[in-house]
Structure 1
């Protein structure tokens, strides 16, 4: 990577006018949050930021937020005026929630110069930097190359093999109650619980006030949840969004995740052929 995966509001403010910098607003919220990312973007966004709609940029034919075909992603990025050679900074309105998913998508499609604004829009505003409203004029169309790293995208069979053989830790970023099956899943037809043998590391444990915790604190969180960053890891969650927060944390530690399970619990929990466990976290192998 040419740059660290996280940048600060001050770092971005100093470089915002650079011709090779493009800022993406990747805000996305759970339906229960009661927030409208499009309306919030129109009300206030980082000057010049382009709206990146995760739903619109995904393949929604079967499951939520699935990766689109490379040619589809490339076409949509070109339409946004994003091209090869640009450094892309992604943020969201929560602080650190959906931006890592956009970062992971970009990286998986071959964009090496992609990073996340630590603390997102709240950190930008708290630092006293300006925002603008409305929709900015899109840049001219640019050539964008998308080369999918197939190894970075796990499917259900990959996860099943990892769980059976122990060749990788499967780390679930959902909350403890959802992981243990104490809460109903928000999507119809999806059973509560978790994959037998998976480990639970709630994404919120990696954050502090909308920022990713510092490296030493991240290592502590991983250890407390039975996860060894030095061993291969496949991340998962409800629909592939917060799993990317775990992937981002691992990247900052210099221990990139092996893969992210794109279908996540939306796929596994709905497939009656896949086993489901409930109750406390099972100890790591």
Structure 2
């Protein structure tokens, strides 16, 4: 913890979070893009991205001033919607001027898209990744100005600056997930609705119903809505108190200090849970990238 922690945090930040700088409010972001002096300012080299999937037209109609658009289709690949290869991810970041020491601020119309990108930036090794709490909807609800039109093209970076990826431990695949369950020394946390977790519904037209035997339910949102994270969010889309999220995880044996891999259907909801656990300072956390989609299509080893 920082010296003078409670005294040094402005009302724009959350005192219940260890990484309090990384969750920003619309008011803080509005001050930053207006050139005002803000608490916990980013590095001189910072980028603002709206993350979305196939929503470039909506971005051009209205977006946070100074933002560029980052489509998640660039960072995921068929057939399972897992992340692209490391070299492809690196090329995408460098093309957008992102190095390890670039502050990257993210938001989305669906903030799960921003969380998906945030997780992969942390995996890559970007040290200062920040998320707009409540996303674009909360920006608009606060009456903040929007810009129109395409974003200007950023200057590309020539190198990332450190070994890539810097945090491979933040992402696991199916063999590692199976090994975790077999050893019994970690938890697979299912960030899915109750109906998905109990196998009563799939949530996706292209994924079979069911869930991973031995996984623990980490909750998500309303049945029938794979974009809902109401168990984690207030009515305005902002993050619930950290203690409340930790308590609902503890009910199902998801505890800080125990190696935990979050997963969902294809990665978005799991990435939000990961990011919140990361904000809370949980150690030994990761995202199981393939999630139920890959698990359901992969025969057991042997």
**Which residue pairs with 1:156 in the alignment?**
174
Superposition CA RMSD, Å: 2.2
Structure 2 portions without partners, runs of 5+: 1-17, 36-43, 221-228
- Partners of 1:113 and 1:216 lie apart in 2 by 24
After the TM superposition, which residues 126-275 of structure 1 pair with which residues of structure 2 at under 5 Å, given as runs? 126-145=141-160, 147-148=164-165, 149-188=167-206, 190-203=207-220, 204=229, 205-209=231-235, 210-273=237-300
SS of residue paired to 2:197: helix
- Is 1:112 the equivalent of 2:112? no
Match among 84, 88, 91 for residue 75 of structure 1: 91
- Partners of 1:246 and 1:257 lie apart in 2 by 14
SS of residue paired to 1:184: coil
Shift of residue 150, structure 1, vs aligned partner: 2.3
SS of residue paired to 1:136: coil
- Partners of 2:89 and 2:182 lie apart in 1 by 33
Give per-residue Cα distances to partners, 1:206-241, cap 9 Å, x unaligned.
112211111222222222333212321111110011
The TM-score, its normalising length taken from structure 2, stands at 0.80
Range 135-144 or range 106-115, more displaced: 135-144
After the TM superposition, which residues 88-107 of structure 1 pair with which residues of structure 2 at under 5 Å, given as runs? 88-94=104-110, 96-107=111-122
Shift of residue 71, structure 1, vs aligned partner: 2.5
The TM-score, its normalising length taken from structure 1, stands at 0.84
Q: Measured at CA, do residues 151 and 82 of structure 1 come closer, stay the same or move farther in structure 2, by a change above 3 Å?
A: closer
SS of residue paired to 1:26: strand
Structure 1 portions without partners, runs of 5+: 29-35, 275-285
SS of residue paired to 2:116: helix
